[in-house]
A and B are shown apart, each in its own frame.
Chain A
Amino acid sequence: MKLIMAIIKPFKLDDVREALTPLGVQGLTVSEVKGFGRQKGQTEIYRGAEYHVSFLPKVKIEVVVGDDLADGVIEAIAKAANTGKIGDGKIFVIDVERAMRIRTGETDIAAL
């Protein structure tokens, strides 16, 4: 099993979800996060006081799939979240040791 963690632009969330459903992804977790990368922050001005805000809002998607699905999911996210502009985000892939569905006690692939 792989945990695929993608940081994307917030407005791309729906596109990514639509791209993942046909692949057989049964669920995913979304968080609103902030961070910085090559895309620099922005300047805010309040009554003449200027603040440089280096952390920009992003959305983090976490989805766990079987090894067979992983490549397709990564490709689908990369395609759906791409705008070609700086700040599109990143995808990380991590090995997952175990999984369990709390309600039934099913484990691993059956729990996904």
Chain B
Amino acid sequence: MTRPRLTWGLGALATVMLMAAPAFADDAPPKLDSGDTAWMLASTALVLLMTIPGLALFYAGMVRKKNILATMMQSFTICCIVTIVWMVAGYSIAFTTGNAYMGDFSRIMLHGIADHIVKGNDSQAFVLASGVKDVADMATTIPETVYMMFQMTFAIITPALIAGAFADRMKFSAMCLFMTLWSLLIYSPIAHWVWSPSGWANQLGVLDFAGGTVVHINAGVAGLVCALVLGKREGYPNTNMAPYNLAYAVIGASLLWVGWFGFNAGSAVAANGRAGMAMSVTQIATAAAALGWMFAEWIVKGKPSVLGAASGAVAGLVAITPASGFVLPGGALVIGIAAGVICFWSATSLKHLLGYDDSLDAFGVHGIGGMVGAILTGWFSFGPLSATDATPDGSPGGLAQVWLQCQGVASTIVYSGIGTFVILMVVKAIIGLRVNEEEEREGLDLVLHGEQVF
């Protein structure tokens, strides 16, 4: 028996070519694998851990005392909002067949997700784009509920990452509306392009194992647009905006690191060798990036800062995200070092050079790190990792693949950038984006939530 196909990217393109093979209807229903399902249940919990409390702590640790609770509340609330948005329509737009640009509405309110459940168990595994003419299906070995939940945790962390760019100054009500619209109109379609077998980027052959374009470039660019539209924080850059509790940030970065194994190794959607390689390269790239940032800072600024090492680790996690599942340890080492050094430059120099106030460097770390990773994936991709019966060579790296990666990156930048700008204008017209100057000085904890930390 051939193993059910599950490859992001080129594998799906190859399966299109192989559609001369028997149509899905002739096959036996794809079988569930309890080992794969168990790993994906665990991965789902790990990825949720990245947002709450991982990202909440990472971001809260970098703001001033008066904004700590408000910053944590952003991650926490986004987790809740996106859960409901995903259930209502987000999942349907992202992962049903639809067309090349977005899914259809067949899973609105998760309608039909229990179709295969018999006697408390799924009678068959979830197949993306099943039984549709001209589109290769993509079979998994897990129930659709697990796939839907795993993807939901990705949909949660992506908008939560953006919050770092407008920290300390956005109205809570505006943030809630912005995130709802952004999740539906920006995240879900891009996830469809890249990860659904019917998506155009997937069919083109853009490689993105765990979300370099969908999650990180997307969130980073949206963050940059938010920072530009909302404007600088009151008093930036002359007043002291030193973080109040960097220990939080280090704990948060460490939780992100641990949770990221679910993010990257879980993106194999199976407990197999590819997941093992994804986990290995994640660890290697992260360590290399933390050291890269640390040594770069040590040389340039004279001291290896704790925040620098933690930021470098996050940059490495970001950069290896699209590459994990495609590259080998040697490639991961290069990707990690490149991400650490380049993100050090973008977060400490580029930002000041261009003068925008991306408070917690959502763009400097996630946007730039995502681009470094997405492009280098095209160079370091090791064919056999993504090889299938249909494509015995897999997706080997090379200039042609780098060019495809650049197209994926550019499309994400353009769509996310313009879409975010339009949504911000709509929200601005309805409720306004920023708290007023006095409220900002007072601090968001007290003004928006009526509470104080410590």
Which of A46, A49, A51 is most buried by chain B, counting CB atoms within 10 A of its CB? A46
Q: Report B67 CB to chain A, min CB distance, Å.
A: 15
Question: Could you tell me if A48 and B352 are in contact, using CB atoms closer than 8 angstroms?
Answer: yes
How many residues on the B side are at the interface (Cβ–Cβ under 8 A)? 18
Nearest CB on B from A22, distance (A): 38
Q: B303 and A53: CB pair below 8 A?
A: no
* B246-291 residues at the A interface, CB under 8 angstroms: none
Chain A, range 41-72, C-beta contacts under 8 Å to B: 44-49, 51, 53
B40 at the interface (CB under 8 A from A): no
A29 to chain B minimum Cβ distance, whole angstroms, is: 23
Partner of B351, one of A44, A45, A48, A53: A48
**Among listed B129-137, B214-222, B304-312, B391-399, interface-contacting one:** B304-312
Give bound CA distance, A48 to B297, whole Å: 9
CA distance A45 to B311 in the complex (A): 14
Asked if B242 CB lies within 8 Å of chain A CBs, one says: yes
Question: B145 within 8 Å of A by Cβ?
Answer: no
Pick from A45, A48, A49: contact of B241, CB under 8 Å:
A49
How many whole Å from A20's CB to the nearest CB in chain B?
Answer: 32
A45 touches B305 (CB 8 A): yes
The answer on a CB contact under 8 Å between B347 and A47 is: yes
Q: Measured between alpha carbons, how far is A44 from B305 in the docked complex, in Å?
A: 10
Q: Which of B307, B349, B351, B352 contacts A46 (CB 8 A)?
A: B307
A interface, by DSSP: helix, strand, loop or mixed?
A: strand
Q: Mark B358-390, 1 if CB is under 8 A from A, else 0.
A: 000100000000000000000000000000000
Minimum CB–CB distance from A69 to chain B (whole Å) comes to 39
Contact assessment for B242 and A48 in the assembled complex, using a CB-CB cutoff below 8 Å:
no
Which residues of chain A are within 8 angstroms of B62 by Cβ–Cβ distance? 46
Residues of B7-32 at the interface with A, using a CB-CB cut-off of 8 Å, are: none
- CB-CB < 8 A to B351: which residues of A? 48
- CB-CB nearest in chain B for A44: B242
CB distance from A53 to the nearest CB of B (A): 7
- The chain A residue sitting closest to B301, CB to CB, is A45
A51 with B308, Cβ < 8 A, contacts A45-B301, A45-B303 known: no
Name the contact of B347 in the complex, choosing from A45, A48, A51 (C-beta under 8 A). A48
Q: Do the beta carbons of B308 and A47 come within 8 Å of each other?
A: yes
User: Which A residue sits closest to B239, measured CB to CB?
Assistant: A51
C-alpha gap A47/B352 in the complex (Å): 10
Bound-state CA distance A51–B311 (Å) is 19
Identify the closest chain A residue to B307 (Cβ): A46
Say if the beta carbon of B237 comes within 8 Å of chain A.
yes
A53 touches B240 (CB 8 A): yes
B122 CB, min distance to chain A CBs, angstroms:
47
Which residues of B are found within 8 Å of A45, using beta-carbon distances?
Answer: 301, 303, 305
The reply to whether B242 and A47 form a contact with Cβ atoms under 8 Å apart is no
- B131: shortest Cβ distance to chain A, in Å? 51
User: Which residues of A are at the interface with B, using a C-beta cutoff of 8 A?
Assistant: 44-49, 51, 53
28 intermolecular pairs with C-beta atoms under 8 Å apart: A44-B242, A45-B301, A45-B303, A45-B305, A46-B62, A46-B242, A46-B243, A46-B305, A46-B307, A47-B307, A47-B308, A47-B311, A47-B347, A47-B348, A47-B361, A48-B347, A48-B348, A48-B349, A48-B351, A48-B352, A49-B237, A49-B241, A49-B352, A51-B240, A51-B241, A51-B242, A53-B240, A53-B242
4 tightest A-B contacts by CB?
A: A48-B348, A51-B240, A47-B347, A51-B242
* B residues in contact (CB < 8 Å) with A: 62, 237, 240-243, 301, 303, 305, 307-308, 311, 347-349, 351-352, 361
